Structure 1
């Protein structure tokens, strides 16, 4: 359970704090968690073998045999906790999926998730001057919506709201960004028009949005240089809508190279939810990200990895 892991962190004297949406972070460094897990592993008598590649995995009369670059390992049970395909420079591979398929377990199609989205060259040409600009936003795709920051990059869109919605977005479809979702931009601009109608549109918008974003939307609406007094209610409503119902069609994602997690994986229907053991292959377990379970940002995927690993460890 999450509270069990928090208690473990506290037993090791690691300070932590809560950010938005219940997300917990170490006060000092995530390396504190690594040191904690290493200490727990040592206390349990586990062996750590680094820079060791896996070759063949075989079923034997007494369990399983795994051939590695450091020799052969025989065991009564085999727990596959090798993660997904995300961030291959850290060693991620599709090993778990290969083992699952070898033993007849179904694998749900995998794809990058919690990943920045890319834009095509035409869109990048329009947004190029905005690289590095961030704004509060709601990112929406279908019924899924996430309220956090959006960051425009030299490749496309990033930031927490984009990473979250990337797990739902599909190629060829649009996402809708609602910038500054807590305010009624149309009403604010109309109030500014009454108070100071001679103010330029882009100047007024810069009181609401980051300056470069304000200039972008004024340019897109062909209103740069015009005064608020010149704008009708209809024009102001259309300008506000372009900001708060901003439809963007990503060209793709940055892929597994930067994806924080992998969608899809070993089909949960093939596993016993109480133990994570393969229903048709006694002694074979799959835990963590290689299973078709994906959480939001904020430690949920780590929690799933630890929790699924715990129940498998209790059964082995």
Structure 2
């Protein structure tokens, strides 16, 4: 069977690409249903993009690589598409956009766009062999127990990274890239919770509060959540992309809270109250109790000098912790690293040395922040590859 384009992966990037390739296009995926990450994202409402998406929100060995695709298909373009399909949406914090209804609406939209373009979708299909032809590629695949030999001019790698293997994630795109001589940067789990092997935060499991979480590379002002295994929440997931094993992190529990001014005022009005009681008005009570075992919080407010209050505030603003590790790919939202952008065109996503081979989405060494940025990269890179393929599509194979 012959196709103009075969796309490996029916996730966000692959489906977006299929809607723009033109010609005879086939999308292949091993899963029972397309877009599983889309379906579960955003608590089932799909955080489909971010109002503030731009190059500064992405990590890559080459921070300039993402600029071209993001500029040619922006968050506003995707919002227009969502609006055209009559999908109601709303903004949450920090520019994050979600469906009012269900993430299934985004899936239905993408499938409708794919079908409008005339692309075919084969699910529960596995790639058994792949080789380069003089002008294109030959694939051996298995679908419904039957073997098929396929030929295509263009092959698009859109199988994502290693994150959440229980959903079928694998390093297939990396293996194929290496097969054709492309480099793959070191990969690791990103947007992932931190773990502490000593179980120190079990008693705080479920406690959440806004913090400023930082290391030497970056800083995020968002919520932190204590878990029975360690630390999670948006601030933690964000910083995990900038963290290396063995490094300390700094938790500022006060962020912009003027604690000294507040406690000095309360000292005048309520000096007989315990310091811990007053602190519990501004920090979770369970956290105050936990911290009081290692930080001097004894006595009433009236007993605290200005120097003591400043020392306490400094300690709470610079809580140094060293995670044992992360939850790994098991719960990571994305994979950091991937197919080296040095081997790809930033305008078309095509491999510079392998004509007809493209890589898009999470498979590429471009990783976004938490909050809809990785979906925007999927839309932008998928569009870039799809329109590039369409621009040189022959009328017949």
TM (norm. structure 1) is: 0.96
State the number of aligned residues.
312
| Higher alpha-carbon deviation: 183-192 or 279-288 | 183-192
Confirm or deny that 1:236 pairs with 2:325. no
User: What is the aligned partner in structure 2 of residue 78 from structure 1?
Assistant: 155
Give unmatched runs, 5+ long, in structure 1: none
Give the superposition deviation at 1:171: 0.6
Give the superposition deviation at 1:308: 0.7
TM (norm. structure 2) is: 0.77
User: What is the aligned partner in structure 2 of residue 107 from structure 1?
Assistant: 184
Give the superposition deviation at 1:115: 0.6
User: What is the aligned partner in structure 1 of residue 170 from structure 2?
Assistant: 93
For the 8 Å contact 2:224–2:233, the answer to whether it is kept is yes
User: What is the aligned partner in structure 2 of residue 295 from structure 1?
Assistant: 368
| CA deviation profile, 1:139-192 (whole Å, cap 9, x unmatched) | 111141111100000010000011000000111111111123121212222222
| Distance in 2 separating the partners of 1:260 and 1:237 | 39
For the 8 Å contact 1:97–1:266, the answer to whether it is kept is yes
Confirm or deny that 1:216 pairs with 2:293. no
User: What is the aligned partner in structure 2 of residue 21 from structure 1?
Assistant: 94
User: What is the aligned partner in structure 2 of residue 31 from structure 1?
Assistant: 104
* Counterpart secondary structure, 1:40: helix
| Distance in 2 separating the partners of 1:31 and 1:148 | 28
User: What is the aligned partner in structure 1 of residue 136 from structure 2?
Assistant: 63
User: What is the aligned partner in structure 2 of residue 197 from structure 1?
Assistant: 271
Give the superposition deviation at 1:119: 1.1
Decide which of 203, 211, 222 is 1:129's aligned counterpart. Answer: 203
For the 8 Å contact 1:217–1:243, the answer to whether it is kept is no
User: What is the aligned partner in structure 2 of residue 269 from structure 1?
Assistant: 342
Decide which of 240, 249, 266 is 1:166's aligned counterpart. Answer: 240
Q: CA RMSD in A?
A: 1.2
* Counterpart secondary structure, 2:219: strand
| Distance in 1 separating the partners of 2:107 and 2:353 | 34
Give unmatched runs, 5+ long, in structure 2: 1-73, 390-397
| Distance in 1 separating the partners of 2:202 and 2:328 | 21
For the 8 Å contact 2:217–2:242, the answer to whether it is kept is no
